[in-house]
Structure 1
Amino acid sequence: MKLLHLDSSILGQQSASRELGAAIVARWQAEVPGLEIAYRDLASDPIPHLDASDLAKSDPTAAARAERVLRDFLEADVVVIGAPMYNFSIPSSLKAWIDRVAVAGRTFRYTAEGPEGLAGGKKIIVASTRGGFHDAASGRDFVEPYLRFVFGFLGVTDIEFVTASGLSISAEQRSESMQTAHAAIPAPLALAA
């Protein structure tokens, strides 16, 4: 079984999403024998945003890098994504990664009946963190709805969120929210069995 772990927070060791993502991966590693883990830090090693040369595939080096990013996603059984909320949405580095894995003919296709996702059969676990309290009902959360939509479009419907909110309210709130989030990390046994 292969797990792809992505971090996108710019906060390094201070990052709550990195802490939660690492805890999720550690739980999978402890409970799934032989788990292969690939890691990509989208903040320290960002994927360039799409441009016209990417679509034309005129730069062989960039094309090879994009293919590796796509293959890492396609080969993964589980994807753990650290997704902090920046200005109500995901970091641009994570969006750049999504642009490399949302590829017509590889992860989705259009049919007479509408779009069809081709990347199903995966589990995605998102470590989502926010400084305030922004749930979907508030209309201020574009992280969870966007990620559910885009991965659903690619055919992935097994998506879980481990969320810590209110991290910038106070030290006490941060501690309480992180403890609650750590306690909510899902067990991997159902998928691994």
Structure 2
Amino acid sequence: MNTLMIATVVGSYKPVHFLREWVYILARRGCRLPKAQPHIPEKEYRQSMLILLGVVFVATTALFCWIYRASKHGELPLNAATGLRTVETMASTAVWQYVHKKYANGFLFSALLCVALCATVIAGGASSGNVNDMSTKYWWILSGIGAALCFVVVGVGVSAHFSARRFNQSTGEEH
């Protein structure tokens, strides 16, 4: 079986390795973001971290929404940067369009999960006045939403791969 390349922003990873790295980073950091540097006042650092996290989540949400819209309307061109990229889905433009129209709702659901991540970070940061000092319940919520996002991206990617394989076999475009 070919290695699946499920990529949006993160790049191409085997899902197990990506999840292991994510858990390792959270455990190593103790579910905390780095503290302010001596030359940066603490209050400005807290605000800038909250703004930075908000910008990252908004940008990711915008990317997922753009991919959803382009996929739903058949306007997402065959490319090596965004979308459901596997050997099977990239076999031809026809299979690329078929798969992306069929699984466009996965991108919309991923965008909604990113909105939930952003809301959780804002709520946790606002409740404690600092993203670093959010209570454990917010970290558990973030971990759950992050795991759901990984599950959606991997699940949609695997389903799209096998759907593209069936489409390729039915049209005689096997790889």
| TM class, shorter-length | under 0.3
TM, length-normalised to structure 2: 0.24
TM, length-normalised to structure 1: 0.22
- From the CA coordinates, give the structure whose radius of gyration is larger: 2
Greater relative contact order structure (CA < 8 Å, 6+ sep) = 2
